[in-house]
Amino acid sequence: MPCKFHRERPWPFENLGPGCQFEGETDFFGFADKSWCRFHLPMEDDEGNRSEKADWGENEVTRFNASVLAFIDEARGDKKTADLTGVAFPVNVSFAGFTKDKPFPRVCFIKAAFSGGANFGEAAFSGAADFSEAAFSRGANFGEAAFSGAADFSEAAFSGNANFGKAAFSRAANFVKGAFSGNAYFREAAFSGNAYFCEAAFSRGANFGEAAFSRAANFDEAAFSGNAYFSKAAFSRAANFGEATFSGNANFREAAFSSDAYFSGAADFSGGADEEAPSRKFRIADFADVVFKGRADFFNRRFLDTARFTKTIFHVAPEFHNAELRQDTDFTGATFEDTSKEHAARAYRTLKLAMGNIGARNEEAMFYALEQKSLRDSMDKSLRNLMSNKGFVWLLTLLYERTADYGRSVVLPLGWLVGVTVVFWFCYALAAAAPGAAFDFAMAQLFRPFSVWIPLKAAGAPEAAVFATPPLLLKFLATLQSVISLGLLTLFILAVRRRFRLN
């Protein structure tokens, strides 16, 4: 009886047909009420009953693996696809011999089952490689493998550790709905085409440290149950983590985002309903030293523990609308270069309110200043607009920034106060040719504002008489000095109060 294996091959392998591809086989095995060739004979059925393949000895396994390798060699020689769809490998199997000098042809491992370890370390794939729905029961090693064509691991199941460290994907890499039950290691992997990890499930650690994504990286709805490491990863195009969930630490330290980055969605950093569960105690999101050259989108994101944005550089105002930030949120040394985009003022207003809610006064003041700068920079600067009430407000905000950095600086008002006093002293000295008396007159307007309007008895010296009964011009200058000095002193006091107030 022929082998009853049946599986439709998807594009680009649809011409291979749905049946058993091993036409030369003559030995068949009865199992689970079906006839199977030795390649498609399962290890066990759905109820856990073992087939005789599960009890094969070393000789049978060796012959089996040798037949598979010979099948691949023949396909390469004939420049055909090596169709290994549905093959069940009984124990460990190694394909490490298929290096760049002897690469895989186009190969199809759709729904293949690897009962033991699968070693593809340093393997070279000259064409498309399809591992969709493949099941790796033990460790899968693709370290330093080179995929010249598209690599498809959609819905593949990795029950053991999966190693793709330093793997090179020249075209699209598809891991949509992939299930990683063990550790997933993609450190220093190079994705030259689009990388798709949508709805992938990482049950343990996922390491993408120093990985390079030259095109779009899509982790939409991916679930990271363990720690996720993207430290020093480089995202050259859009990076989409929308709806992704991080139950452990999310480490993006020193990652570089050259285009838009999306972390939006109803995402939850929690580790379960139990507040005391250990998994809820490690929910750290680390974006320290990250460079966002495009949009950074954190819509609806919930941060249930530490969120580090220390020394992070945002070229575009980050959006945290409807996000939940906790007290341990750190923006120390962060740089915000965008105050001109249309959405910038709204983005900074949201962060200002968020920082106010958690009592982070310095950060609240920083985002207030950025909001005001954005409102000013985005204002229509036509002459007609500048001559209106909006123009007056624009001027006031500019003066507030220059003299006190929107209430954030204690030093600026004092510096301006010293400078203003020196300027007016110089003006008074020119008017009366008496530097000493001019200095006393300038200090009097500082400590006794508007005293110039109080009549004083003139002393004997001519210059003293000038300052005792000053002409109208000097009165005007002295009044202007008093107004400016009072304003600067007020800004100084407000800055001190803002810095040290409790609520």
Output the tens digit of pLDDT for each of the chain's 503 residues: 689 898 888 888 888 888 999 987 878 899 988 999 999 999 998 888 999 999 999 999 999 999 999 999 999 999 999 999 999 999 899 998 899 889 999 999 999 999 999 999 999 999 999 999 999 999 999 999 999 999 999 999 999 999 999 999 999 999 999 999 999 999 999 999 999 999 999 999 999 999 999 999 999 999 999 999 999 999 999 999 988 888 888 899 899 999 988 887 655 554 444 444 433 334 678 888 888 888 888 888 888 788 899 999 998 899 999 888 888 899 999 999 999 877 899 999 999 999 999 888 889 999 999 999 998 887 766 656 656 666 667 788 888 888 888 888 889 999 999 999 999 988 888 877 677 788 888 888 888 888 888 766 555 555 555 677 777 888 888 899 899 999 999 889 888 888 777 65
- Identity at 503, one-letter amino acid code: N
Q: Are 392 and 460 in contact (CB under 8 A)?
A: no
Among all chains, which residue has been given the structure tokens 């709806």?
243
417-430 in b/e burial notation, b at 16+ Cβ within 10 A? beebbeebbebbbe
pLDDT at 416: 92
Q: Are 110 and 10 in contact (CB under 8 A)?
A: yes
pLDDT at 275: 47
Strand 234-235 and strand 212-213: the pairing is: parallel
Number of neighbouring beta carbons within 10 Å of residue 238: 19
Paired tokens of 295:
């949009």
CA distance 251 to 334: 17
CA distance 302 to 279: 16
Task: State the helix-helix crossing angle for 344-357 and 361-377, rounded to 10 degrees.
Answer: 160
Paired tokens of 465:
């008489």
CA distance 437 to 462: 10
Q: Is the dihedral of CA 461, 467, 468, 472 positive or negative?
A: positive
pLDDT at 383: 58
CA distance 213 to 215: 6
CA distance 242 to 301: 9
pTM, rounded to two decimals = 0.78
CA distance 478 to 264: 57
